[in-house]
């Protein structure tokens, strides 16, 4: 396996670098060079963001332009993740600690995570362009906000659930020691939530690559909202038939996904294991070649020493920090008034948005609504068909991986990298290749929806299979039951709750994929098929009322399906197929 081989190579390289003392200086130089490169890159990105907006962005297909486009894409992804994490810590904590906020915020988050976000991409773009008509800030912020909306809900629910399920013994420790809410958050709640938050952040960022690439290359029949980045590079290379550029873009993104897995996620997962509360659980020993490398660095040890000295001399703390901590003992009446004002602001914004939407929808004629309903039915059929096709292969494969710990360990990085790769980069190339053999867009977009959504199912099925108690599986085998009998009696019921979660996220991803697959710009012509996703793209930049109606209808279909289908299935899973009763 390529990824496992790279793991071994990087691990051996880190051992060689950290063994002799003279090599440790190179580690320090690498760290300083990385910091200097990051600062220069941020200055370049700031210049790009504040530059004068151009009606048409020229995308160079030179291999030397790839690093620039890659860095711009990474900056957008990094800014979006920072905003998502800030949103998670503030909103999830607020909802978990304030009963009134919980009754308002949790349903809002639940609805927002069900809405196909790409349908609102044109609306967000037009709003940002109105606020920033002359600079690139509007375009950049629209792409960042789109990524935030596909990351924040999953992370927020993870942190919220961790706060609500905090073990009673940890609450008792905070009460006995007289911790303030700030001290409890810092020393108990955040550490407890860290492992789950890291894992959900990893899944959210993997999901966001799809939206980032789609946002960078987004276009409508009349308006081009293209941004310089890996998505637009791949889009231009495909439209011009530049095979070399397509191959370079694919391998560049694959290399970046593998590098991020090694440099960011593996160290974070290894670091988060120190906060694992359940000491009886069998957890793989945390390990990361990058952490081993950094811990041998003299610069790293100097920073750790300085940090320890600062904590050992509390009298040197800043006076303002001490005063702030003293005020954190109780939020007080001022904090309650601030929270109440924020809730009223949210409700007022929702009311004003609903009023504006009603006025806009008043311009949509009955014939247009009928046409949208028919196109919505066509897209719904494609979404369900793609989900069924994805289920047919992910259930057996996910069960096999999850029930074999050795293979689960071997394939973990492979699955993570495959899920993180932005497959939307290949959509146009696949559509054109299928068209040459006589497959129309109506059929090929179903296959592309499956490609975009199958990883949600696979992750959840693997997690469900790993949650099956080993003693039950061994008991089934001891009675001589066949594989099919074990699946019917144990494995299928055990993964059913996880499968529903996978279906919910997969159908949401399929609806987003419908927007970039039902209408594609393939120069010199545009290809489209009958569907709601195509209607969203057609209306962008032409008919704001029709665009709002199509986006609202798509969101309503998803929310209604969640309430009428997935909700009852969740209740069935909780009452009949749970292993915890």
**327 pLDDT exceeds 50?**
no
Mean per-residue pLDDT of the chain: 75
Which is nearest to 513 in space by CA: 427, 419, 432?
427
| Cβ atoms of 504 and 551 closer than 8 Å | no
Q: Which residue has the higher pLDDT, 446 or 223?
A: 446
Residue 548 has pLDDT above 90, yes or no: no
Does 531 score more than 90 pLDDT? no
Mean per-residue pLDDT, 52-76: 80
Q: Using alpha carbons only, what angle is made at residue 201 by residues 200 and 206, rounded to the nearest 5 degrees? A: 100
C-alpha distances in Å from residue 512, one per residue of 110, 332, 509, 535, 552? 17, 44, 5, 13, 14
* Euclidean distance between CA atoms 323 and 338, whole angstroms: 20
**pLDDT above 50: residue 317:** no
When mean pLDDT is compared across 217-221, 263-267, 407-411, 519-523, the lowest value belongs to 217-221
Domain boundaries, the chain: 47-290, 363-581
Quote the pLDDT of residue 205. 81
* 448-504: pLDDT as tens digits: 888 877 887 887 788 778 777 777 777 777 777 777 888 888 888 888 887 887 888
Contact 422, 260 (CB under 8 A): no
Task: Note whether 37 and 194 are within 8 A (CB).
Answer: no
pLDDT recorded at residue 385 = 93
Q: Does the pLDDT of residue 2 top 50, yes or no? A: no
What CA–CA distance (Å, rounded) separates 433 from 31?
Answer: 44
Distances in Å between the Cα of 17 and the Cα atoms of 26, 297, 414, 442 are 8, 10, 26, 54
CA gap 519, 173 in Å, rounded: 57
The better pLDDT of the pair 197, 522 is held by 197
Is the pLDDT assigned to residue 322 strictly greater than 60?
no
Q: Which residue has the tokens 């040459």?
A: 436
Predicted pLDDT at 308: 60
pLDDT of amino acid 172: 83
High-pLDDT (> 90) share of the chain, %: 4
Residue 115 confidence class, pLDDT cut points 50, 70, 90: low
C-beta atoms surrounding 423 within 10 Å:
20
* Main-chain phi, psi angles of 578, to 5 degrees: -85, 145
CATH-assigned architecture of domain 363-581:
Orthogonal Bundle (1.10)
Note the pLDDT of residue 541: 60
pLDDT of residue 329: 45
d(CA 526, CA 530): 13
How confident is the model over 503-515, as pLDDT tens digits? 887 887 788 788 8
Cβ-contact 351, 359 below 8 angstroms? no
Q: Please say if the pLDDT value at position 256 is more than 80.
A: yes
Residue 425 scores a pLDDT above 50: yes
Instruction: Give 212's contacts (C-beta < 8 A, 6+ positions apart).
Output: 73, 76, 77, 80, 143, 146, 147, 229, 231, 422
Give CA separation, 352 vs 262, 339, 432, 454, in Å: 46, 20, 44, 38
Phi, psi (rounded to 5 degrees) for 363: -85, 0
Question: Which residues, in sequence order, are CB contacts of 107 under 8 Å at separation 6+?
Answer: none
Dihedral angle sign, alpha carbons of residues 486, 492, 493, 494: positive
Confidence label for 384 from pLDDT (cuts 50, 70 and 90): very high
Give the residue among 103, 113, 182 at the shortest CA–CA distance from 153. 113
Q: pLDDT, tens digit, for every residue of 209-228? A: 777 777 777 665 555 667 88
pLDDT at 487: 81
- How high is the pLDDT of residue 216? 78
Question: In angstroms, how far is CA 319 from the centroid of its own chain?
Answer: 39
| Whether pLDDT at 581 is above 60 | no
Query: Each residue of 125-183: pLDDT tens digit?
Result: 777 777 777 777 777 888 888 888 778 877 887 788 788 877 788 878 888 877 877 88
Q: Is 226 exposed, middle or buried (0-12, 13-18, 19+ CB in 10 A)?
A: buried
Residue 303: predicted pLDDT:
67
Between CA 171 and CA 183 the distance in angstroms is 12
Confidence of residue 373 (pLDDT cuts 50, 70, 90): very high
The domains spanning 47-290 and 363-581 adopt the same CATH topology: yes
Does the reported pTM lie above 0.75?
A: no
pLDDT reported for residue 301: 67
Chain segment 101-111, per-residue pLDDT in tens? 888 887 777 77
Position with higher pLDDT, 129 vs 289: 129
> What superfamily does domain 47-290 belong to in CATH?
MetI-like (1.10.3720.10)
More confident position, 190 or 463 = 190
CB of 233 within 8 A of CB of 65?
A: yes
Distance, C-alpha 470 to centroid of its chain: 31
């Amino acid at each position: 396996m390529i990824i496992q081989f790279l793991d071994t190579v990087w691990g051996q390289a880190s051992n060689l670098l950290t063994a002799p003392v003279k090599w440790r200086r190179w580690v320090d130089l690498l760290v300083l060079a990385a910091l200097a490169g990051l600062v220069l890159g941020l200055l370049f990105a700031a210049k790009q963001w504040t530059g004068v907006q151009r009606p048409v962005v020229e995308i160079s297909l030179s291999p030397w332009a790839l690093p620039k486009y890659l860095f711009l894409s990474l900056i957008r992804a990094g800014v979006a993740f920072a905003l998502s994490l800030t949103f998670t810590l503030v909103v999830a904590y607020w909802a978990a600690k304030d009963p009134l906020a919980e009754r308002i915020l949790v349903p809002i988050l639940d609805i927002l995570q069900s809405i196909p976000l790409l349908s609102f991409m044109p609306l967000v773009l037009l709003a940002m362009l109105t606020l920033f008509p002359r600079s690139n800030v509007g375009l950049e912020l629209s792409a960042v906000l789109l990524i935030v909306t596909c990351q924040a809900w999953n992370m927020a629910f993870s942190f919220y659930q961790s706060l609500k399920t905090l073990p009673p013994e940890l609450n008792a420790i905070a009460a006995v020691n007289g911790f303030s809410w700030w001290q409890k958050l810092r020393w108990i709640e955040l550490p407890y939530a860290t492992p789950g938050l890291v894992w959900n952040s990893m899944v959210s960022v993997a999901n966001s690559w799809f939206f980032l690439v789609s946002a960078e290359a987004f276009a409508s029949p009349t308006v081009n909202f293209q941004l310089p980045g890996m998505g637009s590079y791949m889009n231009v290379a495909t439209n011009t038939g530049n095979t070399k550029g397509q191959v370079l873009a694919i391998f560049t993104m694959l290399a970046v996904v593998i590098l991020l897995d090694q440099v960011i996620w593996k160290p974070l997962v290894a670091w988060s294991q120190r906060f694992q509360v359940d000491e009886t659980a069998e957890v793989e020993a945390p390990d990361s070649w990058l952490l081993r490398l950094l811990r041998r660095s003299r610069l790293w040890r100097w920073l750790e020493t300085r940090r320890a000295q600062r904590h050992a001399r509390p009298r040197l703390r800043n006076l303002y920090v001490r005063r702030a901590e003293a005020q954190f003992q109780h939020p007080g009446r001022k904090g309650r008034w601030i929270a109440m004002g924020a809730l009223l602001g949210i409700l007022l914004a929702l009311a004003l948005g609903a009023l504006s939407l009603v006025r806009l929808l008043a311009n949509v004629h009955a014939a247009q609504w009928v046409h949208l309903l028919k196109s919505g039915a066509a897209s719904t059929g494609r979404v369900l068909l793609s989900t069924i096709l994805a289920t047919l292969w992910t259930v057996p494969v996910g069960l096999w991986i999850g029930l074999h710990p050795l293979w689960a360990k071997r394939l973990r990085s492979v699955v993570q990298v495959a899920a993180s790769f932005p497959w939307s980069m290949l959509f146009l190339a696949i559509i054109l290749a299928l068209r040459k053999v006589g497959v129309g867009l109506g059929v090929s977009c179903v296959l592309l929806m499956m490609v975009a959504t199958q990883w949600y199912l696979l992750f959840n099925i693997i997690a469900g299979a790993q949650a099956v108690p080993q003693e039950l599986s061994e008991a089934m085998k001891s009675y001589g039951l066949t594989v099919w009998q074990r699946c019917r009696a144990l494995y299928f019921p055990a993964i059913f709750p996880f499968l529903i979660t996978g279906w919910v996220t997969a159908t949401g991803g399929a609806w987003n994929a419908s927007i970039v697959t039902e209408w594609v710009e393939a120069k010199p012509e545009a290809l489209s098929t009958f569907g709601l996703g195509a209607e969203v793209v057609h209306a962008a930049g032409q008919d704001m009322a029709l665009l709002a109606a199509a986006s609202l209808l798509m969101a309503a279909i998803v929310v209604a399906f969640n309430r009428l289908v997935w909700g009852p299935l969740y209740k069935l899973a909780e009452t009949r197929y749970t292993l915890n009763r």
